[in-house]
Chain A
């Protein structure tokens, strides 16, 4: 019943369709007329979108290739790099959201339900929130060296306090509900009350928060890569492509334009999906539409 209502919402429909298309693109990347994104050819440097040129495979074979989005200053195919970059962005976005939610749920349930833990844990979270998210992420990636895993962890950590606060505030209201008190009277163990009664009633706002975290993570990953502190340059990500195109932006704007469009559309779609979910899942908001 609830799922039918969610699917009737146009924001959800549009956001989910765009994301589904992106996932499809990421999965089907090798079959979308792409070449290995790390291939380059000195003869095909700085081609404009739609131009043809040669590209040399690792085996030394030279292929004729149409550069749909042009090529960069090394003669790499931007189209292939952008398409493969979709994989990185989606993985980082989704993994970060899941990680931040999982950690935030545990901390938030603990702080909200076990009052002795609340003071210590929340002051620590306040401390983390006092440092700008990007700075923490830069520091952590610098400390660990860039890989998808470290980038995900580095972006997730500053997001954890936000999720924790959300979960804690939800727990503080839900724990006073008579059905929780009834469960206590029924002798239900504390962990079962936390995960069996309280958590399922937090899901709707968490889903919404998850989408916003996901969008933010995609953006931060691009920012880190753009600043050169994210993933190493040999992995194609939208941020990396834009960073490398930056120097030539005036003469060859396509280097920045195409990854930028993908980034903007993806983040927008995730945010639209989040807005739609909020409108349909939050009964108070739903009443107003």
Chain B
């Protein structure tokens, strides 16, 4: 018998949405000891299904039809009290953001204890033993200390382990994991995935694993269900879906996943150097007149070169200092020491007034397309702002904006609209157009495709590639995603803890990594051994 059986499940969206139903007639089952991956792009309704199963749907999203059976028991229309009993004991859930899913004012031990206190008849002593057991089971070092710690004292990976401990402490039959590793670094992600696999095998838990990342799917799924705009388009075993996808949409999605192989495009080693940093360092000092100054070395001795028409990738995990380097180069922050040479000009220590004419030569595209455009300005205003600052006439700037819109494959009519009328991918195109309006020599893409769905990501990457060749731009591409780096970079610098640990041609780094950290990083890349079916 299946742990979870979902039949013909439909969940309505509030009227006025982009479609009538968040989920329409979805049917799937999760067997005992099975991991079913629910894959889909943002807005496909995958999290809504999880909420529906847990009985956590907001009132605006009513269950419209179908049935949800947990170990044979119908959950639809069940009372709140029974539902509360089932949660934690028979089904439990872990979330994407372990910091907000844990209560910051309770110790981790108290939070696990809460589950036991309400759902088990164990005595205080037994509960304490059980908590220490489960904490060591999720491979946290020094369980006694961890149990007494508050969430902010733990790292993201440790917090997610606490969430898993909480979810599994009563040995539920079903575990729902909603993007549990999306907020984590790739090395931590590999550990957490390994942990979920091990525990699931040990306890025979059925897992409904929600993700957008096909690498993760390849890593842990037994079966895969593909969701598109609320409809289940394909369901099958992992190898069937990933290597022999039947539905067009699945084929397109899998075709969009970048490979880990470097592109192998030759790069001219004699191309002129556009940007060169030497021993660039940034130290943040947190000074308070009552306390000792705290120093954080965000970047140390970073020496890099970017040549015209080529792409340098900076790869690293969060906190490695890659964004700090970018922000120093754009001079959004002032470097503490070192040189930044842009063409013939040394800009690291230049004052604001002297810097102004040089600003147009370096432009940056940020990660979050929803916050990169001023919501109160039209797209046209955003694009012409830069040229207007440098004395270009309004008419000329608008003309340039229209040409750029065509270059980033958008309609010229978009210029008079506001950012909220566009999707994430479209906004990122607008941001690229805004940067290009300055006719820069160096374009910095700071995680510019990380927030995008894989199919949109592929389109934006293609666009960046086309722009780089057509305009012979130098590009600094910052990413945590090795697959993306492999696809676009000519050179790669791997950063860890503020330092560049390995730097060289992409081919060398990807095929023959020298530094231990680089190897760990590649080892951790999800789905690295898996050959995705070509379309």
Binding site for B on A (CB under 8 A): 177-179, 181-189, 197, 200-201
B470 to chain A, nearest CB (A): 22
Find chain A residues with CB under 8 A from B434 CB: 182, 186
Bound CA–CA A182/B371 (angstroms): 10
**0/1 string, B381-409, CB within 8 A of A gives 1:** 01001100110000000000000000000
Q: Does B363 contact A (CB under 8 A)?
A: yes
Q: Does B161 contact A (CB under 8 A)?
A: no
- B359 contacts A177, CB within 8 Å? no
**0/1 string, B362-386, CB within 8 A of A gives 1:** 1110111001111111000010011
24 A–B pairs (Cβ distance < 8 Å), ordered by A: A177-B371, A178-B367, A178-B368, A179-B372, A179-B373, A179-B374, A181-B364, A182-B364, A182-B372, A182-B431, A182-B434, A183-B385, A184-B332, A184-B359, A185-B330, A185-B362, A186-B363, A186-B389, A200-B374, A200-B376, A200-B377, A201-B374, A201-B375, A201-B376
Find chain B residues with CB under 8 A from A200 CB: 374, 376-377
Please indicate which of the listed interface residues B357, B374, B389, B434 has the most CB atoms of chain A within 10 Å of its own CB.
B374
- B374 contacts A197, CB within 8 Å? yes
Find chain B residues with CB under 8 A from A188 CB: 385-386, 389
- B363 contacts A178, CB within 8 Å? no
B451 to chain A, nearest CB (A): 11
A250 to chain B, nearest CB (A): 54
A197 to chain B, nearest CB (A): 5
Find chain A residues with CB under 8 A from B389 CB: 186-189
B525 to chain A, nearest CB (A): 27
Say which residue of A178, A179, A187, A201 sits within 8 Å of B359 (CB atoms). Answer: A187
Bound CA–CA A189/B390 (angstroms): 11
Q: What 16 new A-B contacts, CB under 8 Å, besides A181-B330, A183-B385?
A: A178-B366, A179-B371, A179-B382, A184-B359, A185-B330, A185-B332, A185-B359, A186-B360, A186-B363, A186-B386, A187-B360, A188-B386, A188-B389, A197-B377, A200-B377, A201-B375
Find chain A residues with CB under 8 A from B374 CB: 179, 183, 197, 200-201
Question: Top 10 nearest A-B pairs by Cβ distance?
Answer: A186-B386, A178-B366, A187-B359, A178-B372, A200-B376, A179-B374, A187-B389, A178-B371, A185-B330, A177-B371
Chain B interface category by residue count: 20 to 34
Bound CA–CA A182/B374 (angstroms): 10
Bound CA–CA A54/B438 (angstroms): 79
Bound CA–CA A182/B332 (angstroms): 9
Q: Does B203 contact A (CB under 8 A)?
A: no
Bound CA–CA A31/B373 (angstroms): 52
Please indicate which of the listed interface residues A184, A187, A200 has the most CB atoms of chain B within 10 Å of its own CB.
A187
- A186 contacts B366, CB within 8 Å? no
Bound CA–CA A26/B93 (angstroms): 61
Q: Does B356 contact A (CB under 8 A)?
A: yes
Bound CA–CA A184/B362 (angstroms): 11
- A181 contacts B366, CB within 8 Å? yes
- A185 contacts B363, CB within 8 Å? yes
Bound CA–CA A177/B431 (angstroms): 14
A79 to chain B, nearest CB (A): 46
Bound CA–CA A129/B172 (angstroms): 55
Residues B46-76 near A (CB distance < 8 A): none
- B368 contacts A187, CB within 8 Å? no
Shortest Cβ distance from B327 into A: residue? A181
Find chain B residues with CB under 8 A from A184 CB: 330, 332, 359
- A186 contacts B371, CB within 8 Å? no
Bound CA–CA A178/B419 (angstroms): 14
A27 to chain B, nearest CB (A): 33
Bound CA–CA A188/B368 (angstroms): 21
Find chain B residues with CB under 8 A from A185 CB: 330, 332, 359, 362-364
- A181 contacts B385, CB within 8 Å? no
Find chain B residues with CB under 8 A from A181 CB: 327, 330, 332, 364, 366
- A186 contacts B431, CB within 8 Å? no
A286 to chain B, nearest CB (A): 13
Bound CA–CA A186/B359 (angstroms): 7
Find chain A residues with CB under 8 A from B366 CB: 178, 181-182
Bound CA–CA A50/B32 (angstroms): 85
Bound CA–CA A179/B367 (angstroms): 11
A123 to chain B, nearest CB (A): 13
**0/1 string, B242-286, CB within 8 A of A gives 1:** 000000000000000000000000000000000000000000000
Bound CA–CA A177/B419 (angstroms): 15
Shortest Cβ distance from B372 into A: residue? A178
- B371 contacts A187, CB within 8 Å? no
B442 to chain A, nearest CB (A): 11
Find chain A residues with CB under 8 A from B372 CB: 178-179, 182
Residues B397-451 near A (CB distance < 8 A): 431, 434-435, 438
Please indicate which of the listed interface residues A177, A184, A185 has the most CB atoms of chain B within 10 Å of its own CB.
A185
A187 and B373 in contact (CB under 8 A), knowing A178-B366, A182-B366, A182-B431?
Answer: no
Find chain A residues with CB under 8 A from B363 CB: 185-186
B373 to chain A, nearest CB (A): 6
B351 to chain A, nearest CB (A): 14
A3 to chain B, nearest CB (A): 14
Please indicate which of the listed interface residues A179, A181, A189, A197 has the most CB atoms of chain B within 10 Å of its own CB.
A179
Find chain B residues with CB under 8 A from A186 CB: 359-360, 363, 385-386, 389, 434, 438
Bound CA–CA A255/B29 (angstroms): 77
A172 to chain B, nearest CB (A): 15
A214 to chain B, nearest CB (A): 24
Find chain B residues with CB under 8 A from A183 CB: 374, 385
A81 to chain B, nearest CB (A): 45
A187 and B356 in contact (CB under 8 A), knowing A182-B364, A182-B434, A201-B374?
Answer: yes
Bound CA–CA A178/B375 (angstroms): 12
Bound CA–CA A184/B435 (angstroms): 12
Find chain B residues with CB under 8 A from A197 CB: 374, 377
Bound CA–CA A188/B362 (angstroms): 14
B328 to chain A, nearest CB (A): 13
B450 to chain A, nearest CB (A): 13
**0/1 string, B479-508, CB within 8 A of A gives 1:** 000000000000000000000000000000
